[in-house]
Amino acid sequence: MRYEVDFLVIGSGIAGLSYALKVAPYGKVCVLCKGNAEEGSTRYAQGGIAAVMYDSDSFDKHIHDTLVAGDGICDREVVEMTIREAPDRIKELVQYGVEFDRHGSGGRFDLHREGGHSEFRILHHKDNTGAEIERGLLEAARQHPNIEIKERQFAIDIITQHHLGQRVTKHTPDIECYGVYALDCDTNRIDTYLAKITLLATGGMGNVYSTTTTPVISTGDGVAMVHRARGVLRDLEFMQFHPTSLYNPAEKPAFLITEAMRGAGAILKDRDGKEFMQKYDTRLSLAPRDIVARAIDNEMKISGKDYLYLDARSIGKKQLIEGFPTIYAKCLSIGIDITRDMIPIRPAAHYQCGGILVNRDGEASIHNLYAAGECACTGLHGGNRLASNSLLEAVVYAHNAAMSSIQKVQNYNNQVLSRHHEVPDWNAEGMVLNEEMVLITQTKKELQEIMWNYVGIVRSDLRLQRAFDRLNLIFRETEDLYNRSVLTEPLSELRNLIACAYLIIKMARARRENVGLHYSIDLLRN
Ligand code: FAD
Ligand code: SIN
């Protein structure tokens, strides 16, 4: 089937939906999502969204905290713009129907604090902020007559001149995006979606690693698509590991224990119940994430243990049960009463700071292609994202991208539009259905273990080289499978994970200093 719309949005998380709502008055919008519309990292966000809402805080402080967490390599102008825009974007979320906790009905927002923040500035909805944001945005989007949300449609590749038979390399100037090919996961048909503007809002790539807090759909599809289309990517060596995921080995994704709990007074302890963060940073349990995750990793390696503890008991029973109901219930379901017991924790891959390079309008290096949310690299996070700045970045850049897209659609280049007719449909001739799922599932596990063991929190030249060599074999085997098989969602995801792993390793090897989340025992401190 062929579809033609004004705005094509890939992803129904905070970035995709807030963009869709803004452009909808100006044309027909189609939102594709590979699973159910609710599924994505957004709905799992716990801590909240950072913004300066009152005079007790200041933009300068939030800017300073972001720059410090980013370890000196954030884009300062982007940081200033994002943080100054935050209050307006928060007000819009509230207008869409999103509810943040307040002191009394209609009172001031109840603000939390997380690692690296010098002030209480995290707006939240109990400990399930993301679910509330997703609910509010999805309800608003579903009511809009110009927005169609199509579930279980897996975007495979961005359509460019390459599909018109032209040779496209990373040096080709003026690569253009005409839309995407997408697999209908129910019928296995590959459809052609043509659009004046395409926004990638495909989220993160946590599943490159064996332990991750991100949902199974986070397989770096947007980044891999842009890589194959020869677009520009940046900073992928900066994978953020959250210090405190619940240690419950069989569970995937790993359940998160929000940093807001440390903000409320919970303390990291070793297996003997002793505090250890004083050995690593004066900010103790509330140091930025890269430092805390490395400290935990080190303590685990020294002691040979699989997990350490977070002790939240000092917060008090009432505040724990009322303020952190999701975590309380989850832990209780596996026999841990957080009001009495310490919580077993370990780090998990959590957030990709790098991604598709975009300018301040959210434009990628490929014409008519935008990116927002976790798949984009704006320069806000530098070497390490400050907690709760991700949801913020997503709404700010969805807004900027929407404003720029609206202008572009109103003065659209008709020459580009005429090329839509030349786009061929997907050709699956000669392909056979791969009956051996084990080839895919086993390769995925191998890949995730290689990345966890060799390209994790602490790296070395030898580990990176070893990962690269192992990945090469996996890459060749999988491309061979791809070239003779009918395309399926698991195969497509595996190819994307391999592409992302390759890019992480390549960029990690190229980074010759320890900065932010990139830490190698062979390199000196910057
Ligand atoms: P997502 O919400 O991940 O949505 C991705 C969308 O893309 C989905 O709809 C998916 O179906 C679609 N998609 C992906 N690939 C394809 C494809 N090939 N074809 C079609 N559709 C596709 N950040 C904060 O700021 N504060 C927090 O408190 C916080 N807590 C977090 C807690 C957890 C457990 C996790 C995992 C992350 C947390 N983060 C937090 C990070 C933040 O939640 C994410 O970075 C953010 O929600 C990403 O939003 P997004 O719109 O970019 O992508
Ligand atoms: C958390 O709640 O600890 C996660 C916050 C974030 O990832 O920004």
Cα end-to-end distance, the chain, whole Å: 53
For residues 61 and 464, what is the distance between their CA atoms, to the nearest angstrom? 37
As given in the structure block, the two tokens for residue 309 are 């503890």
What is residue 289's predicted lDDT score, i.e. its pLDDT?
87
Instruction: State how far the alpha carbon of 458 is from the alpha carbons of 152, 236, 240, 451, in Å.
Output: 37, 15, 12, 11
Give the Å distance between the CA of 46 and the centre of ligand 2.
6
Ligand nearest to the CA of 204: 1
Angle CA 21–23–27, to nearest 5: 115
Cβ count near 370 (within 10 Å):
31
With a 6 Å cutoff on the Cβ, whether 136 touches ligand 1 is no
CA distance 447 to 469: 12
Catalytic residues, by residue number, are 289
Residue 262: predicted pLDDT: 95
pLDDT at 525: 56
Q: 30 CB contacts (<8 Å, ≥6 apart)?
A: 3, 5, 7, 8, 9, 148, 150, 193, 195
SS (H, E, C) 253-293: CCCECCCHHHHCCCEEECCCCCECHHHCCCCHHHCCHHHHH
**Ligand with minimal distance to 260 CA:** 2
> Using CA of residue 155, residue 160, residue 165, residue 171, what is the dihedral sign?
negative
Q: Residue 523 has what pLDDT?
A: 87
Rounded Cα distance, 383 and 515, in Å: 6
Q: Is ligand 1 within 6 A of the CB of residue 214? A: yes
Distance 402 CA to ligand 1 centre (A): 19
295 CA distance to ligand 2 centroid (A)? Answer: 18
Predicted confidence at residue 7, as pLDDT, reads: 98
Ligand 1 geometric centre to CA of 170 (Å): 28
The minimum-distance atom of ligand 2 relative to the CA of 46 is 2
pLDDT value at residue 194: 98
Residue 310, phi then psi, degrees to nearest 5 = -115, 125
Q: Is the CB of 362 under 6 A from ligand 1?
A: no
Low-confidence ranges of the chain (pLDDT < 50): 526
pLDDT of residue 398: 98
Contact 496/221 with Cβ under 8 angstroms?
yes
Residue nearest atom 46 in ligand 1 by C-alpha distance: 42
Query: CB of 394 closer than 6 A to ligand 1?
Result: yes
Is residue 51 within 6 Å of ligand 1 at its C-beta? no
User: 263 CB under 6 A from ligand 1?
Assistant: no
pLDDT value at position 428?
78
